[in-house]
Amino acid sequence: MSALQAELAHLLSHEARLLDESRFAEWIDLYTPDCLYWMPAWREDGTLTQDPDTELSMIFYRGRRNLEDRVKRLNSGHSVASNAMTRVTHMVTNVILDEDDNATARTRAAFLVNVYDARTSLTHNFFGSYRHAFRRDGEAWKISEKIIHLQNEVIPTMLDIYSI
């Protein structure tokens, strides 16, 4: 594993921990102002949608400001999806460095998220792959793109930025 691959794998693990611990303000700081956060939907033919601007998405935020608005709603207590926050544990593994040029990089990784909903006493598992793009910001890497390919065909509960 290259030093850069290890550094980016560590960043992805750090992102997962921040979500697990509901440390959303710190989580937002990992993203560039012009970031893309997208989870495409599955089409009837078993393929994923390709364009968040013209096709259905499970989750879609363009720009950190839109993610910040979501975090404000989560923290306000006025969001139905965040009343009685679920307990989550993210596992990120098999991080592969696809490309890098010292200023940008791309990775692929597998994920499993375990979600416990105290309101219903039910546990749900979400799994799939992440595609991340990174951009250097001084000495640090920032996430400029996160694309989530969720493999679950049926979603039995609410999904949100903290549970996927």
Could you tell me the pLDDT band of residue 99, with boundaries at 50, 70 and 90?
A: confident
* Residue 89 contacts residue 126 (beta carbons within 8 Å): no
CATH number for the domain formed by residue range(s) 3-150: 3.10.450.50
Between CA 73 and CA 53 the distance in angstroms is 23
% of the chain exceeding 70 in pLDDT: 96
Q: What percent of the chain clears pLDDT 90, i.e. is strictly above it?
A: 82
- Output the pTM of the full model: 0.93
Q: Mean pLDDT of all residues in the chain?
A: 93
Which range in 1-5, 47-51, 81-85, 153-157 is most confidently predicted, on average pLDDT? 47-51
User: How far is the C-alpha of 154 from the C-alpha of 164, rounded, in Å?
Assistant: 14
Number of neighbouring beta carbons within 10 Å of residue 151: 11
If you average pLDDT over residues 16-20, what whole number do you get?
98
The helix/strand count (H/E) of the chain reads as 3, 6
Residue 80 confidence (pLDDT) above 70: no
Angle at 9 between CA 22 and CA 129, to 5 degrees: 75
Domain layout of the chain by residue ranges: 3-150
- 24 C-beta neighbours (distance < 10 Å), count: 19
- Structure-model confidence comparison of residues 34 and 155, the more confident one: 34
Q: Is the pLDDT of residue 3 over 90?
A: yes
* DSSP designation for 125: E
